[in-house]
A and B are shown apart, each in its own frame.
Chain A
Amino acid sequence: GQNIDQPTEMTATEGAIVQINCTYQTSGFNGLFWYQQHAGEAPTFLSYNVLDGLEEKGRFSSFLSRSKGYSYLLLKELQMKDSASYLCAVRDGVTGGGNKLTFGTGTQLKVEL
C-alpha cells in the first residue's frame, strides 16, 4: 500500500516563494507527480519526478529524494492565480497494472497581497 502526507493548508504572500512538502511510503515507487487543482475544477499536471534531483519548469520546480521518500514543489514569484490545492501523487509500479496513482489529500495554498 501507499501513504502520502502533505500539509493541509499554507499561506504565502504575492511575489514570494513557497515550498510544499510531500512525504510518502510505497511498496513499489514508479514516479511522483504534482498536480494543481482550482476549486471545483479538474486537476492539471505540473511536474513529474522519477529520479532524484530537481526538475525546473518556469516558476515551478519539483524535487525528489527516493531514499527519504520525500518531494517538494517550489513555487516562485507567487501570483494570486496560484491560490489552489496542490496534489502530490505517487505511482505504484506493482499494483494497479503498474500505473496506479495514489493521491495525497492536497495542500490548499492561499496567496495574499
Chain B
Amino acid sequence: EAQVTQNPRYLITVTGKKLTVTCSQNMNHEYMSWYRQDPGLGLRQIYYSMNVEVTDKGDVPEGYKVSRKEKRNFPLILESPSPNQTSLYFCASAGLRATNEKLFFGSGTQLSVL
C-alpha cells in the first residue's frame, strides 16, 4: 500500500530536549515536505526536499532541521524545542514527473512542548 508513515503519532516533551519525528514514504517520490498546522493559520511549510541531499527552507523554518540522506526518509529535528513549537505536524511527499502530482500526507504528529 502506498503511504507516508510518520512516527510518533503523539509526543509530549519538555523545553530544550532534542527530538526527532521520522517520516518515510514507499512511493519513490522525489519531493518531500514538512508542514505544521495551527488553528487559524492553516498548514505552513517548514522545510522541503526536491531529492536526496537537496533541502530548502519553507515559510517557517526557524527552530527546525531536516536531512535527506535517503530518498524514502525525511526526518524533522527539533534541536531545542520550545512551547511555541507545540503543533500538529504533517509530512508529505509527491512525485515530480507530472504537473498534476498530488501531495500524499502522513497521519500527523501531535507535539506538545511543556
Contacts and interface: CB of A to CB of B under 8 A. Distances in A.
Interface of A: 30-31, 33, 40-45, 48, 50, 87, 89, 96-97, 99-106
A89 B102 CA distance: 11
A36 to B, nearest CB: 11
Interface string B70-103: 0000000000000000001010001010011111
Interface residues of B, number: 28
A97 B48 contact: yes
Nearest to B43: A103
B99 A100 contact: no
A45 B108 contact: no
A104 B42 contact: yes
A45 B31 contact: no
17 contacts: A31-B99, A31-B100, A40-B110, A43-B90, A43-B103, A43-B105, A45-B102, A50-B100, A96-B45, A96-B48, A96-B58, A99-B31, A100-B48, A103-B43, A103-B44, A105-B41, A106-B42
A27 to B, nearest CB: 14
Contacts of A40: 88, 108, 110
Most chain A beta-carbon neighbours within 10 Å: one of B31, B58, B94, B103 = B103
